[in-house]
Structure 1
Amino acid sequence: MAGGRSARLGGRPKAGLRQGGRTLVELTLDAVREAAGVVVVGPAELAVPAGVLRAREDPPFSGPAAGIAAGLRALGALPEAPWTLVLACDMPGVARAVPLLLEGARSVPGTDGHISVPPDGRRQPLAALYRTEALRAAYAGQDPADRSVFSFVRHLGLHDVTVAEDATADVDTWDDVRRHHLT
């Protein structure tokens, strides 16, 4: 997920912010390099590597739920995988959540997914691993524009996966940019 207006950053795209010489979208793509297929949902001008699918929420800037729907449509061009990992690129430490989510899928079978939960207890639906079939069913026949992700996934049987605070700490403000040492 790499869309959004970045309004609190004066419109500067979060995906292009850098940490250690790498953009946030590059760091997020590194976290999923073993995936069978990857789609970046965001503006067309955002650079992505060859082989990465592109999508845009419809209408543009209609929120992360619409972004997930667009990503699911784009992934429809590939053979269906049993799991869909959803990551927001404005979480510089999200790569630390990925192995824990994958371990959740191995160790706690029979769920609709695994969702990151940092120490504050707030479930993070944009750092989660969903059973593809369950995620598609949750979105089926519904307009996701300007709705919350939780309005789609709240009825899924999700297993909470404890992650470090910095795994889901996101970048919304210039204070966040400084705290994460971004440029």
Structure 2
Amino acid sequence: MTAYDAIVLAGGAAERLGGADKPGVLVGGRSLLDRVLAACAGAGTTVVVGGRRPTGRPVTWTREVPAGGGPLAALGAGVRHTTAEHVLVLSADLPFLGASTVGALLAAAGEDSREGALCTDPGGRDQPLVAVYRAEPLRRELALVATEHGSLAGLPLRLLTAELDLARVEAGPLDSFDCDTWEDIATARARIREHGTVLDEWITAVKNELGIDLDVDTGLLLDLARDAAHGVARPAAPLTTFLVGYAAAKASSGDAPEAVADAVAEAARKAAALALRWEEEAGATKSEADPQ
């Protein structure tokens, strides 16, 4: 993947939220800012433009001048702290932005003749705060706009994007979903609890809370829990999965995350086989007691 730095714009007055600290609003137990930071975890340097607040990983903090000067001024402040050839620019209110969309933007921006790439939402509207820009033309255009207008404060982003040759990447309906109102927040909170997404959202939140950077086969663990509950007893499900995690941690202490994931898978396979043996044994005992 193309090396990049990231700038996350986390300022603004959030007037439609009654002045609430929008980047700090929780969706699925994680702040909006942390959800965005997770999508750009591959950045070499991540700069957050806005007031300091707790984050799930280290970032570089800066502020636009004057404070509240708008997204163009914030972008100008953030880019001073970046060194990579490509700069990912994101707003801090994108609860469903995924790493795959970041990768698509980086790939499109990496084309030889392009000066960057931005997302377009399902309505075809450009999203300049879900974008990747080449650093050199970005700095050039920011300097030209500042010279022409005296400063970047209060200016619209289109003054920048109109002068750059940008590729367009179609975003999914959720990737560009931003939270401007409490209704948007309520929609996001309801969306993560839907049947098809709630487990992934919950596991991600738990790993974030516990400081675990590990991808495991959740399907394998769910199958194990089912087998233990069905073949042994219902309380066996959570206890068995706990013991699998403990065994994996003990067997792979100090190893890379990939080795830990392999250890989880191996322990889960052993425990699942044991649960099936218990079930078979119970069935055999019943048939022996009632040989009809």
Q: TM-score, normalised by structure 2?
A: 0.58
Q: Shift of residue 170 of structure 1?
A: 1.0
C-alpha RMSD of matched pairs (Å): 1.5
2:62 corresponds in structure 1 to 55
Q: Shift of residue 97 of structure 1?
A: 2.5
2:12 corresponds in structure 1 to 4
> How is 1:1-183 mapped onto 2 (pairs within 5 angstroms)?
1-44=9-52, 46-48=53-55, 51-75=58-82, 80-95=83-98, 97-106=101-110, 108-141=111-144, 142=146, 143-181=151-189
Moved over 4 A (4+): none
**Structure of higher RCO (CA pairs closer than 8 Å, 6+ residues apart):** 1
Q: Shift of residue 109 of structure 1?
A: 2.8
Name the SS of the counterpart of 1:181 in structure 2: helix
Distance 2:112 2:30 in 1: 35
Unaligned runs of 5+ in 1: none
The structure carrying a bigger helix percent of its residues is 2
| Residue correspondences, number | 176
Distance 1:154 1:91 in 2: 23
Distance 1:149 1:55 in 2: 19
Distance 2:57 2:185 in 1: 28
Distance 1:47 1:67 in 2: 20
Q: Is the 8 A contact 1:3 1:61 kept in 2?
A: yes
Q: TM-score, normalised by structure 1?
A: 0.90
User: What percent identity do the matched residue pairs reach?
Assistant: 36
What letter corresponds to residue 123 of structure 2 in structure 1? D
Distance 2:97 2:65 in 1: 25
Name the SS of the counterpart of 1:97 in structure 2: helix
Name the SS of the counterpart of 1:116 in structure 2: strand
Distance 2:189 2:80 in 1: 34
